């Protein structure tokens, strides 16, 4: 019987115990650019995995694709191959009014507004980041003089249905086809901002939930790539300050590995 994982095809020894996660397969190369001995061990569908060493620590970078379902598949297979520490490097929408494009947000916990994590455990189960990784991310950012906020992330499904445009008078409108937008979605955005949720994205909730269930430790750091609701005309910058985010994450992973 094959010891390869059914989706990624990875085998024991292919992936490290410490893994960086990102949505975009192209970002794997950027995360691993400073590593030694980096080699690609997987390139299947949305999943690309590179394994190498960073200052003597064996590490991997793996793309999850967009959203919770594909992320859960990858996390399952990584865990079965021995990964125990996961750090997501991602993009996000800024909900807090004082967040600007390029700001960094370290997730302390996530609002589980996705369907996948609910397939594993009841909605009341919390999605909480590992405290060692949170501290390591904030320390690494401070050491580099990079501002980073820590707080709650809204982790959601349906990118277009849950995002909105806002006009000069503060009125919200849908980004979905034909303006489709049930009224409760507008209320949801306003409620999240009122609750002090810092940012929104699509993977942190399932990463933190499954990691807790499987006895792993996980964290998440994201760049604010757009504002939610989006000011009109809509603006998104997926690359602004991403290089700094990657540097902070690499430093944090090294620090956390020694704790």
What's residue 231's pLDDT?
64
Residues 6+ apart with CB under 8 A from 92: 105, 153, 199, 200, 201, 222, 223, 224, 225
Give the model's pLDDT for residue 232.
52
Rounded to the nearest 10 degrees, what angle do helices 242-257 and 131-143 cross at?
130
pLDDT given for residue 182 in this prediction: 83
Per the CB < 8 A criterion, the answer to whether 248 and 140 are in contact is yes
The sheet with strand 172-174 has its strands ordered as 172-174, 164-166, 230-231
pLDDT in tens, 231-240: 654 577 888 8
173 pLDDT exceeds 90? no
pLDDT at 201: 96
Res 230: pLDDT? 64
- Are residues 160 and 202 in contact, defined by beta-carbon separation less than 8 angstroms? no
User: Which has more pLDDT, 18 or 182?
Assistant: 18
Those residues whose C-beta lies under 8 Å from the C-beta of residue 164, and which sit 6 or more positions away, are 172, 173, 174, 175, 181, 185, 186, 189, 228, 229, 230
pLDDT in tens, 114-139: 999 999 999 999 999 999 999 999 99
Residue 165: exposed, middle, or buried by beta-carbon count in 10 A (0-12, 13-18, 19+)?
A: middle
- Least confident span in 3-12, 84-93, 137-146, 159-168: 159-168
Under CATH, what is the fold of the domain 18-257?
A: Rossmann fold (3.40.50)
Task: Tell me the C-alpha distance between 161 and 179, whole Å.
Answer: 9
Peptide bond into 140 cis (omega under 30): no
pLDDT tens per residue across span 41-59? 999 999 999 999 999 999 9
When the pLDDT of each residue in the chain is averaged and rounded to a whole number, the result is: 93
């Amino acid at each position: 019987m094959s010891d390869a994982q059914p989706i990624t095809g990875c085998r024991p020894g292919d992936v490290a115990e410490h893994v960086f996660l990102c949505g975009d397969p192209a970002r794997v190369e950027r995360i691993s650019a400073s590593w030694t001995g980096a080699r690609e061990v997987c390139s299947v569908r949305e999943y690309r995995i590179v394994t190498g060493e960073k200052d003597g620590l064996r590490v991997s970078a793996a793309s999850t694709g967009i959203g919770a379902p594909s992320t859960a598949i990858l996390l399952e297979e990584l865990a079965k191959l021995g990964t125990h520490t996961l750090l997501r490097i991602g993009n996000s929408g800024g909900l807090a009014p004082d967040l600007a494009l390029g700001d960094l947000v370290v997730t302390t916990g996530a609002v589980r507004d996705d369907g996948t994590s609910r397939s594993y455990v009841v909605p009341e189960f919390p999605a909480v980041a590992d405290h060692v990784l949170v501290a390591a991310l904030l320390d690494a950012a401070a050491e580099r003089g990079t501002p980073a906020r820590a707080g709650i992330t809204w982790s959601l499904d349906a990118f277009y249905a849950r995002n909105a445009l806002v006009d000069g008078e503060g009125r919200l409108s849908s980004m979905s086809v034909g303006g489709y937008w049930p009224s409760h979605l507008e209320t949801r955005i306003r409620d999240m901002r009122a609750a002090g949720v810092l940012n929104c994205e699509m993977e942190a909730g399932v990463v933190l939930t499954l990691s807790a269930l499987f006895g792993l430790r996980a964290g998440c750091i994201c760049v604010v790539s757009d504002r939610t609701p989006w000011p009109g005309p809509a603006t998104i910058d997926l690359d602004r300050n991403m290089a700094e985010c990657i540097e902070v994450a690499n430093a944090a992973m090294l620090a956390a590995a020694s704790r």
